[in-house]
Structure 1
């Protein structure tokens, strides 16, 4: 059972943002940012529990255009080929807008600074939060993501054809079938996947607010936001970059480039991990994230900034 809430009037765009909290609010806050076409329910419960067991307060939420957050259904149809050619006329928003949504949610929660963890497109959003709102970020974790440089982190051609070459999914059954098929293509070959859980999350996501057109809107937002590499070089925040060496949806070159760009970033490459969060990696990933959180908290203490638990106001 989800214990989610809807925050209204969030950020400069004044959107509704659906979110859920787990763990003790007095502990350091970890803000989880999901990727394209994904919702807060796509963070596996076992992974969340692993973070909570490491004394972390976890917040997951639906990005704009996903789940129960605001959908921009009146926006012009997104034209990805045109956007790739440099025509941004169909772009409704950018990653900067999505980053501002995330910071707006921190405002609602009265969290001055959080440890921001993003997966896939969520990694790009998390990077943008760190770039554009540095005082709100205690540590940055970028998972299975890239820098926005089109020369790195690209989808492998065979994966592109297999995942994106089929017809759109409209019914609940089609959405679940696509999720299972996609997992078989981009999942982690060395770590078994719980297909029943994949199907359950896909069905729940459909029930919460399926929006096929929003996938393209988020896609063009990413392309239009461009290459973050020069701005990543200016970051001064404890950073962890996680990437699977078997990832064919976002080539590991994206993770390597991200870590190379951010001063002092720790790069963790995992053999046999694809573009997912399989049960066999939850504890390991949580350990890495907890470690960078500790570095961020220690740095904040040295600077006299307390901890994220200290700065959260009481309800």
Structure 2
């Protein structure tokens, strides 16, 4: 697959289908690769991407520090994730696009819409990640990583990364840069040589910055309340995708529709049809 420079990040991406552009922020947490649209949870069952490409030019990509994309050793924010998506639009010569986020990708899509509404035609926010248990789970994951670094040092994180194929979600001791530790030898050397206290401060601050609330992280509610971008919100139904997260977005977004259908009733016929109905309404 091609690689593009997006906000200075080598970004692995794929373009499929024909029609208006649809930029898709992948599900999968800290393992948000473009394959998630076909392989992760509900998205595998619904075959959303296969059906969307019949009507739209779908741009999927690996989020920074995920899959085959690059990254940087810095305190990453939701705005950093959004800039990668915006940079990819720029590289592809796309002035305005529909956005679709799955899971954690909803936060990035919403931040991009808040920061650059002139570039966004609409948003589909599918099963947004959020809720009190989601926040607690993310903070616990970072605490376990930081404790491992404090006890063993950064060089041991690099060594552990080379001994397993697991990601940060499955093995918290590895931390959020594990994919780059395996794929980029120069990055791994810089990582191991970083001042440990500086690293601990950065990573602890990253956890606080990314997961600072008990609902959908990312955009501030006051910014959502003044955002004139049409949105379709589809709720999830588990501890990482609390139904309350979807209702929060519906409350905040002035031009939002909530497809309030239980996950078990979101099928490979009904879900793509509802998304296409919404997008088609925006187009008309």
TM value normalised by structure 2: 0.69
SS for the counterpart of 1:155 is helix
- Residue of structure 1 equivalent to 2:283: 297
| 1:155 and 2:133 aligned | yes
Q: Are the equivalent residues in 2 in contact too, given 1:139–1:292 (CA < 8 A)? A: no
| 1:99 and 2:99 aligned | no
- Residue of structure 2 equivalent to 1:5: 2
Unpaired runs of at least 5, structure 2: 40-46, 146-159, 172-178, 189-198
Give CA deviations for 1:90-133 in whole Å, capped at 9, x if unaligned.
xx131112111111111111111111001222101000111111
Higher helix share: 2
The 1:172/1:284 distance shift into structure 2, 3 A limit, reads farther
The 1:209/1:118 distance shift into structure 2, 3 A limit, reads farther
| 1:48 and 2:49 aligned | yes
- Residue of structure 1 equivalent to 2:193: none
SS for the counterpart of 1:260 is helix
Q: Are the equivalent residues in 2 in contact too, given 1:33–1:61 (CA < 8 A)? A: yes
**TM alignment of 1:114-153, pairs within 5 A:** 114-145=97-128, 153=131
- Residue of structure 2 equivalent to 1:240: 232
Alignment partner of 1:253 out of 241, 244, 266: 244
TM value normalised by structure 1: 0.63
Unpaired runs of at least 5, structure 1: 76-91, 147-151, 180-204, 299-315
Alignment partner of 1:270 out of 261, 270, 275: 261
Alignment partner of 2:211 out of 219, 223, 235: 223
Q: Are the equivalent residues in 2 in contact too, given 1:259–1:267 (CA < 8 A)? A: yes
Q: Are the equivalent residues in 1 in contact too, given 2:109–2:123 (CA < 8 A)? A: yes
CA distance in 1, matches of 2:258, 2:222: 18
| 1:69 and 2:69 aligned | yes
Q: CA RMSD in A?
A: 3.7
- Residue of structure 2 equivalent to 1:33: 25
